[in-house]
Amino acid sequence: MYLDKLKAPHGATHRQKRLGRGESSGRGKQAGRGGKGQKHRKSGNVRIGFEGGQMPMQRRLPKRGFHNLFRVEWPVVNLAELAKHFVAGATVDLSALKEKGLLRRRAGGVKVLGMGDLGHALTVKANKFSESAKEKIEKAGGTAEIVG
Q: Is the pLDDT of residue 109 over 80?
A: yes
Per residue in 6-18, pLDDT (tens digit) is: 999 999 999 999 9
Q: Is 55 within the bounds of a domain?
A: no
The rounded percent of the chain whose pLDDT value lies above 90 is 66
Q: How far apart are CA 20 and CA 143, in angstroms?
A: 76
CATH, residue 111:
3.100.10.10
Computed over every residue of the chain, the mean pLDDT equals: 91
pLDDT band for 97, please (50, 70, 90 cuts): very high
Q: Is 125 within the bounds of a domain?
A: yes
Q: Is 96 within the bounds of a domain?
A: yes
Give the closest residue to 127 by CA, choosing from 105, 90, 97: 97
Phi and psi torsions of 122, nearest 5°: -135, 150
**Domain count for the chain:** 1
Q: Is 64 within the bounds of a domain?
A: no
Per residue in 24-76, pLDDT (tens digit) is: 998 999 888 888 888 888 877 888 888 989 999 999 999 999 989 998 888 99
State the residue range of the domain holding 142: 76-146
Q: Is 13 within the bounds of a domain?
A: no
Region 120-143: what's the mean pLDDT? 94
pLDDT band for 139, please (50, 70, 90 cuts): very high
Question: Which residue(s) pair with 112 in the sheet?
Answer: 77, 129
Q: Is 9 within the bounds of a domain?
A: no
Q: Is 120 within the bounds of a domain?
A: yes
Q: Is 106 within the bounds of a domain?
A: yes
This model's pTM is above 0.75: no
